[in-house]
Amino acid sequence: MNATKVLIVEDEAPIREMIAFHLGRAGYETLEAENCREARAILADERPNLALVDWMLPDMSGLELTRMLKRDPENDDLAIIMLTARTDEFDKVAGLEGGADDYVTKPFSPRELVARIQAVMRRAGGTSEETVQLGNLELDAASHRVRANGNEIRLGPTEYRLLQFLMTHPDRVYSRSQLLDRIWGANVYVEERTVDVHVRRLRKALTVESADRYIQTIRGAGYRFSVQ
């Protein structure tokens, strides 16, 4: 199997090199760019699978670069993770709506970064074999089975995908439009209230084992999975 190619777009050399070092150790092939101009040249020549794009870059913001890349159908297969510092005026909704698949806040541990890259690549590949266990819920992606307290919960395909998405992105709030994009696909026209309908069904199915409490409504923002 070919190694996943990751392009690191970051102007601060020590951070870029640190990331390249750890990704190399984790088995990734890495490419480095210090600005957007270089990044675009490397993207065209090397066709990486994933780009780590820093929010603050010298010639263009990471968000503008992400938007530009995602608009180009040539980059349909490119996954993008944005890197941000807590001090950056980072708007995660803007980042995700700009087309980023995920974002990681600095300072991050190499282990966390590798885990996020693996998760994004699994989603990009569409076949997650992962088992996720949170609270009393267990989702086994290989068999498409969900258990709560060891008892199987029957879910429709959309509720299953919704739960899988939320469980693999815990403690983060997703708006209805983001959930539509991630679960139904960006090119499918579905009304936002469809999300509410499926959330309601999912909660109903989880109620027997009191696991519905994990699916939380954040007023004016959207939904979140949290065991807290």
Rule CB under 5 A: which residues touch Ca ion? 11, 54, 56
Tokens found for residue 117: 């890259």
Nearer to Ca ion, 62 or 99 (CB): 62
Residue 192 C-beta: closest distance to Ca ion, Å: 35
Shortest spacing between CB 69 and Ca ion, in angstroms: 17
- Between CA 11 and CA 8 the distance in angstroms is 9
Angstrom distance (rounded) from CA 149 to CA 208: 10
Helix, strand, or coil here: 174?
strand
What is the nearest approach in angstroms of Ca ion to the Cβ of residue 14? 11
Written as six digits, the tokens of 115 are 């885990």
13 vs 41, beta carbon nearer Ca ion: 13
Shortest Å, Cβ 10 to Ca ion: 6
Q: What span, in angstroms and rounded, lies between the C-alpha atoms of 61 and 90?
A: 11
Under DSSP, the state recorded for 143 is T
Nearer residue to Ca ion within complex by CB, 16 or 123: 16
Task: Tell me the closest approach of the beta carbon of residue 19 to Ca ion, in angstroms.
Answer: 12
Nearer to Ca ion, 30 or 178 (CB): 30
Closer residue to Ca ion in complex, CB, 11/181: 11
Would you say 216 and 225 are in contact if contact means Cβ atoms under 8 Å apart? Answer: yes
Chain mean position to CA 77: 14
